[in-house]
Every structure is written in structure tokens, then in C-alpha cells.
Amino acid sequence: MEILIGLLIIAVGAFCQSSSYVPINKIKGWSWESYWLVQGVFAWLVFPILGALLAVPEGNSLCELINAENGFNIFMTMLFGVLWGVGGLTFGLSMRYLGVALGQSIALGTCAAGGTILGPVLLNAFFPESNALASITFAVISGVVVTLVGIAIIGVAGMMKAKSLPEVEKKAAVKDFNFPKGLAIALLAGVMSGCFAVGLEFGKDINFGELTPDMYKTLPATMLVTLGGFLTNAIYCLYQNFKNKSFCDYKKGNLWLNNALYCALAGALWYSQFFGLSLGKGFLTESPTLMTLSFCILMALNVTFANVWGIVLKEWKGCSKRTIAVLILGICVLVLSSFLPELLK
């Protein structure tokens, strides 16, 4: 029963994340770099800090975790956060060229596979005594392989869409639709976004041990990863503000209330995925396989809900029934990849 509750919590977080790009459509009069930076303040700073505070027992301080003993792990967690930030930037571009459904499907699917394997491999390289590779069992590898199969099937659906729709309908659904360019960017975004899981691996012990409830233990690491990602995104966005002379966006006082509210909503929805991941893992402690695959499960569910939004936003409107059937098959395979390992263990 606890495993079911844990998976349900992760699913709720995935639904929220997949919905996080909807409020952005309500932002008015700001360039991409301006609203991306402001929503990032909420998504990668404000809410992660609030979440991390839940891991701090009464009488202690979050600052106590920033010490020499944790120094190396803190550095590596933030470093992979910086690398994940590159994935975050290209992630937005993948949806620009492929749409919400297809862009998130390919990027998050690649992220799920890479993040699941890279974490234990790199952790084992730095700390051989931890025997982190032991977590990569046959069941886990099977889940990753099936995830990649799901990505391939959804990719086929994307190619079928690109070939079957006339140019006018492609542009009506996704203004800048470009499958080859979008595919390359989505794959890059997925690989770099997988660094989030690696950062969580390095930071998983940055907490107060037994004093921190299991469901909150990864929240300090989540804060450190998002802090690293914020640095990457802030530098790029400020550069774009300078290049495009869009600093004036921040001077539009009449837009601040509307835009800040929707940026905050987008940030809260986005952060919900990792808050849900932390809470959900607290109920999965009896299943080492699902603990290892929890990040992969989150990404697969993100893909599922992203495609639900893609259908709602009519991004697949005009496609043949065969194309839709292939898309649904890919979604089903990705969902299967989340639960197959538990059946195989």
C-alpha cells in the first residue's frame, strides 16, 4: 500500500510539472529571457529553499549543512546543477520546435534513462567503497531499455506527424515546428537534464540523518541542484537581456502583477515534481529497485501528462489515426517502463 501511495505522490508531482508551461502563455509584454529568469527565481530559488527548510529539525539551521564535511558533495551537487541548467535552457527550445507533447517526450525520456544510469556510475567512480553500481540491477536496466524504446516509438510518431501534415497545419499547432532541429535539441536537453539525478545522488546524504524524515531527505540536495541551474540560466538570460536590449521589460510596472503571479504559479508547478519525488521516495524505502528508478518513473510520468496536454492544446490535431496510435503506443511503453522493473525483481 505504501508503494502505491509513493507512486501516486510522484504522479501528482509529474502532472503539476507537465502543467507548468501553461501559465507562461498568460504572461504579457515580456521577452522570453525576461519571463524565463523571473519564473526561475520562483522555480529554482524560492520554492526549493522553502522545501529544504522542511528537512531541518527544530533547533537546527539549514546553514549547518553547509560545512567542510559536506564540502565535496555540495560542490559536485551544484556542479551538476550548473550542467543541468544547460539542459533547462535547451529544454525550452525543444518545445519551441516540437511542441509541448513531443518536445517533453523526447527530452524527458532521454533524461530518465541518462539520469538513472549516470548517477550510480559517477558516484561509484568517486566513492568506490559505496558500491553504488550494485543498484543498477537487471530490473533497473530493463526499465531504462524499455524507456528508450518508448522514446523511439514517440520519435517515430513525431516523424509521421512531420511528413503527414501540410505546412499550414504544422505551424498552426506549433508555430516554429522543425522536427530535425527540435529532435537534436531535445536529445541534448535530455542528456544534460539527466545531470539533475546525478546531482541528487551526490547530495543525498546532505541532511540531518535520522532527524530528517525520509520524505524530506533529498530536499536540501534539490535546492543545491536548482541553485546551480539558476546560475546557468540567470547568466544566459541576462546576456540575452543585454543582447536584445530587453532590460526595459522589467520597467513595465503595469505588467508586473500579472506576470509575477503567473511566473510564481509556473515555478510552483515546476518545483512540485521534485517535491513530490522526495515525498514519494519516503514511501518507497522498502523497494530498492523503485528507489533507484524513482527519477526515471517521474520522467516517464512527465512524458505521459505532457502528451495529455499536447492533445488538449491540439498539437496533434490533423494527424492520422495511425500516427495517434503510434503515439499512444509510445506513451504506454513509457508507462510500462516505470512498473516493469518491480515485476522483474
Q: What is the domain range of residue 117?
A: 32-136+167-285
Q: Is residue 225 predicted with pLDDT exceeding 90?
A: yes
In a domain, 65, yes or no: yes
What is the pLDDT averaged over residues 101-125? 74
Tell me the residue type at 85. G
Residues near 118 by beta carbon (within 8 Å), at least 6 away in sequence: 194, 195, 197, 198
Query: Residue 157's pLDDT is what?
Result: 80
Q: Is residue 301 part of a domain?
A: no
Residue recorded with cell 516493469: 340
- The Cα 177–Cα 214 span in angstroms is 43
Give pLDDT, residue 227. Answer: 96
In this structure, are residues 213 and 56 in contact, taking their beta carbons and an 8 Å threshold? no
Instruction: Give me the torsion for CA of 8, 198, 64, 213, rounded to 10°.
Output: 20
- Alpha-carbon gap, residue 24 to 211, rounded angstroms: 38
CA distance 71 to 248: 39
pLDDT for 136: 80
Cα angle, residue 100 at apex, residues 94 and 101 outer, rounded to 5°: 110
Q: Is 292 buried (19+), middle (13-18) or exposed (0-12) by CB count in 10 A?
A: buried
Query: What is the structure's pLDDT at 106?
Result: 75
Provide the grid cell at 128. 568506490
- What is the rounded CA–CA span in Å between residue 202 and residue 181? 33
Contact 33, 290 (CB under 8 A): no
What's the pLDDT at 223?
Answer: 96
Amino acid at site 11: A
Mean pLDDT (whole number) for 260-265: 95
Would the pLDDT of 294 be above 70? yes
Given a cut of 70, is residue 162 above it in pLDDT?
no
Share of the chain above pLDDT 90, in %: 30
Return d(Cα 162, Cα 157) in angstroms, integer. Answer: 9
Q: For residue 307, tell me if it sits in a domain.
A: no
Position 273 pLDDT exceeds 90: yes
Number of domains forming the structure of the chain: 1
Rg (CA), the chain: 20
Is 265's pLDDT higher than 90?
A: yes
Q: For residue 27, which amino acid is it?
A: I
Percent of the chain with pLDDT over 70: 90
Average pLDDT, the chain: 83
Rounded-to-integer distance, Cα 226 and Cα 43, Å: 8
Query: How much is the pLDDT for 328?
Result: 85
User: For residue 216, which of 226, 208, 224 has the smallest C-alpha distance?
Assistant: 208
Q: Is residue 155 part of a domain?
A: no
Convert the pLDDT of each residue in 20-77 to its tens digit. Answer: 878 888 899 999 899 999 999 999 999 999 999 999 998 889 989 888 788 899 999 9
- d(CA 141, CA 121) in angstroms, rounded, equals 13
Q: Does the pLDDT value for residue 170 go beyond 60?
A: no
Whether the predicted pLDDT of 230 surpasses 80: yes
Q: Tell the residue number behind the cell numbers 529539525, with chain if given.
A: 57
Q: Is residue 190 one of the residues assigned to a domain?
A: yes
Q: What is the mean pLDDT of residues 84-107?
A: 74
What pLDDT score does 166 carry? 65
The answer to whether position 318 is within a domain reads no
**In Å, what is the CA distance from 204 to each residue of 40, 114, 242, 269?**
23, 18, 37, 23
Q: What is the pLDDT of residue 93?
A: 73
Q: What is the pLDDT of residues 117-135, one digit of tens each?
A: 777 887 777 778 777 777 7
CB atoms within 10 A of CB 158: 27
Asked which of 19-23, 142-146, 154-158 is least confident by mean pLDDT, the reply is 154-158
pLDDT attached to residue 336: 79
- pLDDT, residue 176, reads 64
Phi, psi of 259 (to 5 degrees): -70, -40
- Is 186 a member of any domain? yes
72 lies in a domain? yes
Tally of CB atoms within 10 A around 198: 27
pLDDT computed for residue 41 by the predictor: 96
Q: What is the pLDDT of residue 342?
A: 62
Cα–Cα distance between 56 and 219 in angstroms, integer?
A: 10
| Spatial CA neighbour of 110 closest among 18, 195, 224 | 195
CA distances from 250 to 22, 24, 32 (A): 22, 16, 12
Output 330 or 21, whichever has higher pLDDT: 330
